[in-house]
Amino acid sequence: MRRSTCFMLTALLGSSTLFAVAQNNLTLTHWWHVYGADGQKDAVYRYDAEYAKANNLKIEVSWIPGDYTSKLRAALAAGTAPDIFEYPAGTLEDFADGQLANLDDLFTPALKRDFSPTALQQMTRNGRIQAVKMHSDVAVVFYRKSLLKAAGLQPPKTFAELLAASKKLTQGNRKGLFVGNNGVGPLDQIMPWSAGVTFMQGNKITYNTPRTVKALQSLRELKNSGSLLVGAPADWYEINPFLQGQVAMQLCGAWAIGRAREALGDDFGIVPWPALDAQGKPATWDGGFVMMVNAKSKNLAAAKAYIKKVWLDSTAVPVDWNTKYEFHVPPRKSVATAANFDPSGPEAAAANVLNRYARQNPAAFAGSVADAYYNMVGKAVNGTGDIAALVKAAAAQSQQELARP
Amino acid sequence: MRAWPVKRKPIPPGRVALYAALILLAFLFLFPFFLTVRNGLMADRDIIGDQFILFPLPPHWEYLPQTLFDSRDVNILLGLRNSAVVAALQTFFGVLFASMAGYALARVPFRGKSLVLGFILATMLVPGIVLFIPKFVLVAKLGWVNTLQGIVVPEMFSAFNAFMFRQYYLDFPRDMEEAGRVDGLSWTGVYRQLALPNSKGILTALGVLTFISSWNSFLWPLTVGQNEKLWTVQVAVSAYNNTNASYHEIFMSSVIAVVPLVVVFLLFQRWIIEGVKFTGSKG
Amino acid sequence: MRSLNLPTSRSQRAPRPDRSATWAFWGLVGPLVMGLIVFTIVPLVWGFALSFQNARGTIEFDVSRWVGLDNFRRTLADPAFRESLITGALYAALVVPLTLVFGLALALLVNSVRRGQAFFRTALFMPTAVSFVVGALIWKIGLFNGLSFGIANTVLGLFGWDPIVWTLTSPWVWVVLVSLRLWLTLGFNMLIFLAGLKEVPAQLYEAARIDGASSWQSFWGITFPLLRNTSIFLLFVNVIGALQAFDEFYNVLGSGVSSLSSSLAGRPPIWYIYDTGFATADYGRGSASAFLLAGIILLATLLQVRLFGLGQRQND
C-alpha cells in the first residue's frame, strides 16, 4: 500500500518522468489522421523515418482515429499539439492567430506559381502562407458504363437527366444513385453551387435566394424519388455500395478510382455533379489536406526544414503520396507532370473536373456561421417543411453568428 | 425447499408458456452474439447477398488470424494488451482506494467524518460531461496526453465504490476489530490485517464490475490515448470504421473485443451477481 | 451484505477519536479524496470559470476575456440546444419506463422457474459484457442497416414488407436506439430486481396463499411495495444514464449533424455539448452548455426525490 500511495503522489504532482521516453537529441512529433487505403500508413511512417534517418533526428508519428480535427484543436488549446500536423484544406479559419507558423520563407515566387490558385488560397491566412497543400480531393459521380448502356442512357449532363437516370436504373435491390446515407452527403454545398449560389460575399450572408431553395427542393425530390440508396452501412466517401452493385451511380471522392478500377476494370466512368438547370454549372469542391507547423513548437526550425525537404523541394514524396495508394489530384503542376497520368483515363478526367468546376466558400463561412446552414439542410431535404422559410431562418442565424466578435 | 408429496402431474400449461417465453427471450438476447460471430466468419459478398445464409459453411476460420495479426493497419493484439493493462490498473487501484476510504468512513473515529462522506457523495452528482473538457485540459497541463497514466489515473477514483465499501464495513463485526485493537494494532493495521482479508467477496464483486466498465470505456481512452501504441481494444475496433474495412473484419474485431469479457463473465458470474445485488440493496 | 452471516453490533459504543485515529483516517481516505479533488473538483471549477469567458481556441483562464453570462445566453437562444433537450427528454421518456417494466418482467420470469434459472439469468445478463461501441456496430451494420441484407429487413421481407431505412426515418430510428440500450442494460436492471425479489420473505407469500390471494394479487400486494426502494434506485440510475447518453447515438448515427435532424428532433444533449465545446473548440460555450445540462439533470433528480420521497430506506 505504501508503494501505491507513493505512485499516486508522484503521479498527482505531475511528474511524468516515471513514464517518460528517453530522448536523444531532437524529436519531432507529427500527427496524421487515419487514412484507409492499403499501404498508406506504411508510406507515412516511411517518409518520416527516411527523413529522420538522413537528418539524424527522431520523428514520432501519431496515426489518429476518430474525431481528428477536434482532438487537434483541443491539443493546440492545451499546448500539447505536435510540431507538425495535417488538417483538412480550406479551414484555416479554425485556427487562432499565433497558432500556425508562417511558412513564407520556404516559398520562392516560382514555387508559389507551381501551386494551383485555389490551393494557394487554401494555404494562406491573413496574407501569410501557413500551410502546404499535400493533395486535392474532388467529388465526382461514378457510373457503371455497362448499366447505362443497357438502359440506353448517356452520362447525365443536367440534374434532370441525373434524376431520370437514377429512376430508370433502379431495379430490384439495386438503386440508381448513392450520395450519402442521409440523402445529402457532400451535396449540402455542391447542390447550391450547381445552381450558381454564392454562400457569402464580404461580410454578407448571401445564400437566402430562390436558387438555394430550388437546389434543396430538387434534393428533396431526388430523395423522395425512391431511386436513392439510403441507410447503407458505408457512407458516401466509401465506394463499396457502387462496387458491390447496390447502386448504378455514386457520388464519391476521386480517391476511389483505384479501387473502382481494381474491381470493375474499365466498366466505370466519372462525370462532375451536373448543373441544376440552364442557369447553373457543374460543381464540386477542392478538398484534400494541408500540412502545418505548430507556431509554438520548440523545434520550429527543424519542423520547417522537414516540410521544405520532404514536401516542397523534391517531387518524390508528393508523387508517391498522390498516386501510389489512393488517387489524389496533385495541387502542384510539377507533381502532376511528374505523375504522368494517362490523358484519356479517369485520373485525368478527375483533374479536369477539379480545374474547371471546383468552388470554394470564403474562409469565414465556417464554425457556427456555417453550422446554422448545415443544421438546416438535413431538415430541408428529409423533412416536409417549407424550404424557403428554413433557408431564410438559417441565413438570418448565419448572419447573426457572423456579426459576433 | 419444501418436500412435495411425490405425485406425477402433467406439466401445467402455465409452466410451458413460461419456459417458452424464457427460451424466446434468451434467443433474442443471444442472437446478436451469434450474428457477430456469423458475420465475422463470412465473406462480404455472402453477408450482403440477396440469399440469406444462416451460417457460412464452411466458415472462414482464416479471418480470425487475419484480423488478429495482419489487418488494416490496426494492431488489435496491442489493443487487447492495452485494455488489459488499463482495466487491471484501474481495477486494482480503484478498488483499493475505495475500500480504504470506505473503511475509514465506516469505522475510524474522526469528527469531520460526515463532512468527508458528504463531499464524496456530492462528487457523484457531477455529470461526467461537465468534466469532459476541463478534465482533458487538466491532463494536458500535467503532460499526460498520450501516456498510460493519462488514461488510467483520472478514471480510478470512484466515489460510488467508496460508498459501497462504507455500507459494507458498517456491518462489519466490531468484536473482531476490538480484539485487533487490544492486540495493539493501529487503525490502518486493523484495516490491512482484519478488514481487507475479510472482504474478499465484495472486493471481487466490485472489482469485476469496475473491470467491465473500464474495459468497455471508449471516449476517454480515445481522447487521451491518441498515439496508436496506446489504443485500447475499443478504440481499435472503432478505428476500422475509418478505413476501407470489410464487414467481416469489423465483426471479427468485435468478437475479439467481446470474448475476453464473456470469459470474465462466466468465470466470475457468482461475484458479479453478488456485486450487483449489493449495489441494488445498498445504493 | 446479507449473505455473510456475521454478527452485527452497531449499537455498541463506538471508540473515541484520538490523534492516531485522525492520522489513520486521513491516510485511508487521502488517496480517494485527493483524486476526487484533482480530477473532479479542479476540472469542475476550471470549467465553470471558462463558461464565463470567451474561450474560443483557448483553455487558459483569462479575466480579460470575461463575457459574463453571454455563453449561457447564446446556448439558451440556440434552437439546436432546445432541440437537443427535446431529443434527450424523448429518449429518457422511452428508455426509462421500458427499462423498468421489462427489467422487472424479466426478473419475475426468471425468478418463477427453478430449473434452468442460472442459464436464463446468464443469457439475459450476457449483453452487459458488450460495450456501446461494439453494440452500436452490431446494430448499425448487422441488424438495422437500411438494405435488404440487414436482419431486421430480412425478417420484414419474410412478410413481404419493403426494407426500412431504420436509422434515417422517424419513428424507426427510435426502435434502433432504444432496442440497443435495452439490450445492453436490461440484464443489469433485471439482476437488481432479482436481488430485490429474493429479499421478499417467503412466509408472506405463503400467508397470502392461505388467505386465498391470487398470484396477481400477491404481486401487487406484496412484491410491488417491497420493491419500491429497488425501483427508485433504478429510476435514478436510468434517468441519469438516458440524459447522458452519447455513445449509442454517436456510433449508430455516425458523425455529421445533418443526418440527424431529419429523423430526430436534434442531437442528444451530450452530443450538442461535444459539438459546441469540443469539435468547434469553443470551450466557453461548451462548458456553459454542460453546466446548463447539469442543472437540468439536478432538477430532474430533485424532482424525483420530491415525488418518491427518497430517504425512507427500508433496509436500514
Which residues does chain A have within 8 Å of residue B219's beta carbon, measured at their own beta carbons? none
pLDDT in tens, C74-118: 899 888 888 889 989 999 999 999 999 999 999 999 988 888 888
Domain that holds residue C252: 72-308
Q: How far apart are CA C67 and CA B23, in angstroms?
A: 60
Looking at residue A193, its pLDDT comes to: 96
Looking at residue C172, its pLDDT comes to: 86
Q: What is the mean pLDDT of residues A24-28?
A: 80
> What percentage of chain B exceeds 70 in pLDDT?
93
Cα→Cα distances C162→A92, A235, A378, B75, C172, Å: 46, 21, 24, 40, 14
Task: Name the average pLDDT for chain A.
Answer: 88
Which residues does chain C have within 8 Å of residue B169's beta carbon, measured at their own beta carbons? none
Q: Which domains does chain A have, with CATH numbers?
A: 21-137+287-359 (3.40.190.10), 139-285+366-403 (3.40.190.10)
**Option in B141, B145, B231 nearest A75 (CB):** B145
Among chain C residues, the shortest Cα distance to B249 is held by C137
Among chain A residues, the shortest Cα distance to B92 is held by A4
Q: How many CB pairs under 8 A join A and B?
A: 89
**Option in C147, C257, C281 nearest A231 (CB):** C147
Task: Name the average pLDDT for chain C.
Answer: 82
User: Is residue C141 within 8 angstroms of chain A, CB to CB?
Assistant: yes
Looking at residue A7, its pLDDT comes to: 41
- pLDDT over threshold 50, residue A143: yes
pLDDT in tens, B144-168: 888 999 999 999 999 989 988 998 8
Q: What is the mean pLDDT of residues A41-59?
A: 93
pLDDT in tens, C166-176: 877 778 889 99
Which grid cell is A325? Answer: 495508394
Which residues does chain C have within 8 Å of residue B19's beta carbon, measured at their own beta carbons? 113, 116
Q: What is the mean pLDDT of residues A302-316?
A: 94
* Closest listed residue to residue A187, CA positions, set A350, A374, A399: A374
Q: State how many domains chain C has.
A: 1
Total residues belonging to chain A: 405
Tell me whether residues C4 and B201 touch, CB distance under 8 A: yes
Q: What is the mean pLDDT of residues C206-218?
A: 81
Domain for residue C63, yes or no?
Answer: no
Confidence of residue B281 (pLDDT cuts 50, 70, 90): low
User: Is residue A15 within 8 angstroms of chain B, CB to CB?
Assistant: no
- pLDDT over threshold 50, residue B1: no
Q: How far apart are CA B190 and CA B181, in angstroms?
A: 7
Looking at residue C304, its pLDDT comes to: 77
Which residues does chain C have within 8 Å of residue B131's beta carbon, measured at their own beta carbons? 39-40, 43-44, 47
Tell me whether residues A67 and C255 touch, CB distance under 8 A: yes
Contact between A122 and A286 (Cβ < 8 Å): yes
Tell me whether residues B101 and C123 touch, CB distance under 8 A: no
Residue C272: alpha-carbon gap to chain centroid: 18
Which residues does chain A have within 8 Å of residue C141's beta carbon, measured at their own beta carbons? 233
Looking at residue C197, its pLDDT comes to: 85
Top pLDDT among C95 and B178 is at C95
Which residues does chain C have within 8 Å of residue A95's beta carbon, measured at their own beta carbons? 57
Tell me whether residues A65 and B222 touch, CB distance under 8 A: yes
Please tell me which of A282-291, A377-386, C16-25, C296-305 the model is most confident about, judged by mean pLDDT.
A282-291
pLDDT in tens, B93-150: 999 999 999 999 988 888 888 899 989 988 887 777 778 888 888 898 888 888 999 9
Looking at residue B44, its pLDDT comes to: 83
Q: How many CB pairs under 8 A join B and C?
A: 300
User: Choosing among B2, B22, B168, which should be mutated to test the C contact, i.e. which has the most C CBs within 10 A?
Assistant: B22
Counting other chains too, the contacts that C40-44 makes at CB distance below 8 Å and 24 or more residues apart are: C40/B123, C40/B126, C40/B131, C40/B157, C41/B123, C42/B134, C42/B138, C43/B131, C43/B134, C43/B135, C43/B137, C43/B138, C44/B126, C44/B130, C44/B131, C44/B134
- pLDDT over threshold 60, residue A20: no
Instruction: Count the alpha carbons within 13 Å of B103 in the hemisphere toward its beta carbon.
Output: 30
Looking at residue C310, its pLDDT comes to: 53
Looking at residue C265, its pLDDT comes to: 61
Looking at residue A58, its pLDDT comes to: 93
- pLDDT over threshold 60, residue A1: no
**Option in C30, C80, C259 nearest A182 (CB):** C259
Q: How far apart are CA C215 and CA C205, in angstroms?
A: 9
φ/ψ region of B200 (left if φ > 0, alpha if ψ in -120 to 50, else beta) reads alpha
> What percentage of chain A exceeds 70 in pLDDT?
94
Q: What is the mean pLDDT of residues C252-258?
A: 61
Which residues does chain A have within 8 Å of residue B73's beta carbon, measured at their own beta carbons? 34, 40-42, 63
Q: Give the minimum alpha-carbon distance from B109 to chain C in angstroms, rounded to a whole number.
A: 5
Domain for residue C2, yes or no?
Answer: no
Tell me whether residues C315 and B282 touch, CB distance under 8 A: yes
Q: Is A36 helix (H, G, I), strand (E, B) or coil?
A: coil
Which grid cell is A161? Answer: 437527366
Domain ranges across chain B: 13-66, 74-282
Q: Touching C: which chains, 3+ CB pairs < 8 A? A: A, B
Confidence of residue C10 (pLDDT cuts 50, 70, 90): very low
Looking at residue A3, its pLDDT comes to: 39
B74-282 CATH pick, 1.10.10.10, 1.10.3720.10, 3.40.50.2020, 3.30.2130.10: 1.10.3720.10
Which residues does chain A have within 8 Å of residue C283's beta carbon, measured at their own beta carbons? 77
**Option in C192, C273, C298 nearest B125 (CB):** C298
**Option in B133, B140, B235 nearest A65 (CB):** B235
| Upstream peptide bond of B10 is cis (omega within 30 degrees of 0) | no
Total residues belonging to chain B: 283
Tell me whether residues C38 and A381 touch, CB distance under 8 A: no
Domain for residue C24, yes or no?
Answer: no
Tell me whether residues C80 and A383 touch, CB distance under 8 A: no
Confidence of residue B7 (pLDDT cuts 50, 70, 90): low
Looking at residue A15, its pLDDT comes to: 39
Q: What is the mean pLDDT of residues C221-230?
A: 82
User: Is residue C280 within 8 angstroms of chain A, CB to CB?
Assistant: yes
Q: Give the minimum alpha-carbon distance from B279 to chain C in angstroms, rounded to a whole number.
A: 8
Tell me whether residues B148 and A19 touch, CB distance under 8 A: yes
Domain for residue C54, yes or no?
Answer: no
Which residues does chain B have within 8 Å of residue A86's beta carbon, measured at their own beta carbons? none
Domain for residue C218, yes or no?
Answer: yes
pLDDT in tens, B204-223: 888 988 999 999 998 889 88
Which residues does chain A have within 8 Å of residue B75's beta carbon, measured at their own beta carbons? none
ipTM of the complex: 0.85
pLDDT in tens, A150-178: 999 999 999 999 999 999 999 988 999 99
Which grid cell is B263? Answer: 470469459
User: Choosing among B242, B246, B247, B254, which should be mutated to test the A contact, i.e. which has the most A CBs within 10 A?
Assistant: B242
Q: How many helices (H) and strands (E) does chain B have?
A: 14, 0
Tell me whether residues C32 and B157 touch, CB distance under 8 A: yes
Looking at residue A405, its pLDDT comes to: 65
User: Is residue C77 within 8 angstroms of chain A, CB to CB?
Assistant: no
Q: How many helices (H) and strands (E) does chain A have?
A: 17, 15
Looking at residue B282, its pLDDT comes to: 63
Among chain B residues, the shortest Cα distance to C230 is held by B280
Which residues does chain C have within 8 Å of residue A181's beta carbon, measured at their own beta carbons? 146, 167-168, 254, 259
Confidence of residue A215 (pLDDT cuts 50, 70, 90): very high
Q: What is the mean pLDDT of residues B3-23?
A: 76
